[in-house]
Amino acid sequence: MTGTETLAVQAKAKTQHFDVIIVGAGISGIGSAYHLIQQSPGTSFTVLESQESFGGTWHTHRYPGIRSDSDLYTFGYRFKPWKGTPIATAEEILAYMGEVIDDHDLARHIQYKTKITSARWSSQDNLWTLETVRTDTGETASFTTNFLWMCQGYFRHSQGYTPQWPGMETYKGLIVHPQTWPENLDYKGKKVVVIGSGATAATLVPAIAADVAHVTLLQRSPTYFIPGRNANELADTLRELEIDENWVHEIVRKKILFDQAAFTRRALEEPEAVTKDLLAGVRAFLGEDYDVDKHFTPRYRPWRQRIAFVPNGDLFQGIASGKASVVTDEIEAFTEKGILLKSGETLEADIIVTATGFDLNVLGDIDFHIDGKPLDFSQTVNYRGMMFTGVP
C-alpha cells in the first residue's frame, strides 16, 4: 500500500457517519434530539456543540441577573412541564435542560468542544461532509451525514455587537459587553452606565443597582415594558387543586398563547388604549411626577417591536429607589471619564456596559459548499425560517 493510500484509509477510518447531525446543544438542539429519538427510533445521530457544555445562549451569557424575557410555559418543552416561576434565571433553565438530558440519556449523543469549519454537500453521494476542529486541542475530524439539522442559533457566541463611538480609545475606565461579562468583574461601589434599552439592559440594571454607587441606563430612545408579578395565577390555582403537572403545563400554555394573541390584536386595533395601559403600569411604580413621556414612551405603536416583561417591576423599583436612573439622549463621544452626550451633558462612569445587541451571523459562520460551489445565502430564498432554496 502506498503512502497516499494509507492516508486515505486513515482519513476514512476517522470519519464518523450519522443519519442525522444536529448542530448546537441549546434549547433547540436538545429538543430536536429528544424528538428524533421519540419519532424516529433507530436513527443514528450526534449533536455537535462548539462550547464546553449544553445550554446555548444560557451558557454563553453570564451577566448579573441573566433571565428569560418570555415565559417558560411557552418557551419550554411541551414534553417537560415547567414548574417554576414564568420568568426564569439562566441557572434554572440550565437545570431544566439538564433534567431533559438525564431523563432521556442524551448526554452520550453530544460531542462538546467541536466546532464545524465547513459543510460540503455532494449530490452524487447524497451526503454532507463536515470538517471540524476541537476547540481545546485543535484536533480535526470529519463527519458525514444524510441530514444536517441546524440548531446553532443566530448570533456569534464569541462576541456581542458594540458600535464604535468617537473617543472610545480615550476612555480610561472599563468597557464591557454583557455577552462577554468578566467572571470576577468588581462593580461594587462603582459608577456604571448601561447603554441600551432592550431586555438585557432592563435585566442588568436592577440586578446590579443595590451594589453599585449608581447605575444609569442610557438610551437613544425608549421602549415599551410590561411590569407584572413573576407568577401565573392560573398555574397556582390548578396546583392548589392538585391537577397533574402535565395538564397544568398544557392548560397554562394554551391560556398564555390565547392572551398573547388577544393582546397583539388589541395593539393593532386600539394602539392608543394599549399605550395608555402600558404607561399606566410604569407610572404605578414611578409616580405621576416622573417624566414617563420622555423616558418610557416610544415613538412607535405597541407591538411594532417586541415588548419586554419586567418581573415584579424590578427595573422601576431600582429607579424609584434612586439607585438607578434613566437618561434619554444620544452619544456625542466617549471621554476619559465617561460619555459626552449630544445635549452637552456628561455621564461619568467607572464601567460602561454596551447592552447593544448581538453580532448576527448566518448558520454559525460555517463555510458551506454545494457540489463544489460556495453557497451564498444572500442568493437563496428562506421558507419560514426553516429551508433554503437550492440547499439540500
Express each pLDDT in 246-298 by its tens digit. Answer: 999 999 999 999 999 999 999 999 999 999 999 999 999 999 999 999 999 99
Cβ 309 vs Cβ 74: under 8 Å: no
Q: pLDDT of 73-112, one tens digit each?
A: 999 999 999 999 999 999 999 999 999 999 999 999 999 9
Give the mean pLDDT of 347-370. 95
Encode burial over 57-66: b for 16+ CB neighbours within 10 A, e otherwise.
Answer: bbbbbebbbb
State the chain's mean pLDDT as an integer.
Answer: 94
Mean pLDDT check: name the lowest of 69-73, 123-127, 143-147, 388-392: 388-392
Residue 390's pLDDT is 84
Give the mean pLDDT of 29-43. 97
Residue 389's pLDDT is 86
Distance CA 23, CA 115 (A): 9
> For a pLDDT cut of 70, what percent of the chain falls above it?
97
Residue 1's pLDDT is 52
Q: 6 pLDDT exceeds 50?
A: no
The kind and range of the H/E element at 332 are: strand 331-334
Residue 377's pLDDT is 87
Q: 2 pLDDT exceeds 70?
A: no
| pTM tops 0.85 | yes
Q: 385 pLDDT exceeds 70?
A: yes
C-alpha 324, offset from chain centre: 25
DSSP-derived letter for residue 3 is H
Residue 10's pLDDT is 45
User: pLDDT-derived band of residue 358, with 50, 70 and 90 as boundaries?
Assistant: very high
User: pLDDT: is 377 or 196 the higher one?
Assistant: 196
Q: 307 pLDDT exceeds 60?
A: yes
C-alpha cell at 390: 437550492
H runs (alpha helix) in 194-297:
199-209, 233-240, 245-269, 271-286, 292-295
User: pLDDT-derived band of residue 9, with 50, 70 and 90 as boundaries?
Assistant: very low
Q: 141 pLDDT exceeds 90?
A: yes
Distance CA 162, CA 176 (A): 9
Distance CA 310, CA 328 (A): 19
Q: 7 pLDDT exceeds 90?
A: no
What are the beta bridge partners of residue 194? 217, 353
Angle between helical axes of 314-321 and 271-286 (0-180°, round to 10): 50
Residue 8's pLDDT is 46
Nearest to 96 by CA among 67, 121, 120, 124: 67
Distance CA 44, CA 152 (A): 20
Q: 12 pLDDT exceeds 90?
A: no
C-alpha cell at 334: 466617549
